[in-house]
Amino acid sequence: MRSRIAALGVVLALSTAALGVTVVVLGLTTTPPSQPQASGVQMDAAGTAFPTAEDQCYIEGMIPHHEQALELSGLVLGATGVRERTRALAEFIVADQTTEIETMRAWQQAWRQAVPAETTTASGHGAHAGGHGADAIAPGSAVAPACGDHPHAQMKGMATAAQLEALDAAEGPAADRMFLELMIAHHEGALEMAEAAVRGGSNAYVRTSAKHVLVEQDREITAMTELLAEAP
């Protein structure tokens, strides 16, 4: 049985050069949003200095969601007898979502630096001006946004521990098919999260990131559905 730690080591060892290779194989060409800058309070081109709770909770939910996509990809890349097209897709997901995680973490850091220390909580996040949707998180507030009560906290599409263990133990066509089934469900969950961020968010970077997810992961679902139909 492959250990999950070893599989994740494969993920981390993959260079972003794999992105160029797998783009050619799969025809997936969308570009992740550029990394936000940490300087100053004005954090986006749309003129929104302080994000909404929807913005912040999207980032807090999508980072671990993407991290599990890396785990799923690492497990199938560590399996034997997996089709080359499935491996190429997994490598593309690793390259694309690793970049997205890095830029989302940079956004978090920029946001934390933009909020005066006296208005942050022990968790390090800015305070919530009240409610979700268009309500901005701004200095002078007293309560941090309750992302634990937010719909994104449901982490739609996440594989269970038992499913991860089953994929870890699988080889050949079984691993190939299981990965595709789990990743399709995982991507569908990400699409729901991204749609909510586009509807309810106001921060330009967050909206751009969510739109990238909507386009890219929809394309990947199409590619995976075709691969699943062709699976032995």
**pTM recorded for the entire structure:** 0.71
Query: Given a cut of 60, is residue 41 above it in pLDDT?
Result: no
> Residue 144: which residues within 8 A CB-CB, separation 6 or more?
120, 121, 123, 125, 126, 127, 128
Closest by Cα among 68, 72, 65, 82 to 166: 72
What size, in residues, is the chain?
232
Given this model, what pLDDT does residue 16 score?
37
- What is the mean predicted confidence (pLDDT) over 132-146? 42
Given this model, what pLDDT does residue 116 score?
56
Higher pLDDT, 81 or 12: 81
Which range is least confidently modeled, 37-51, 58-72, 79-93, 150-164?
Answer: 37-51
DSSP category for residue 205? H
Q: What share of the chain is helix, strand, coil (3-state, %, to 5)?
A: 65, 5, 30
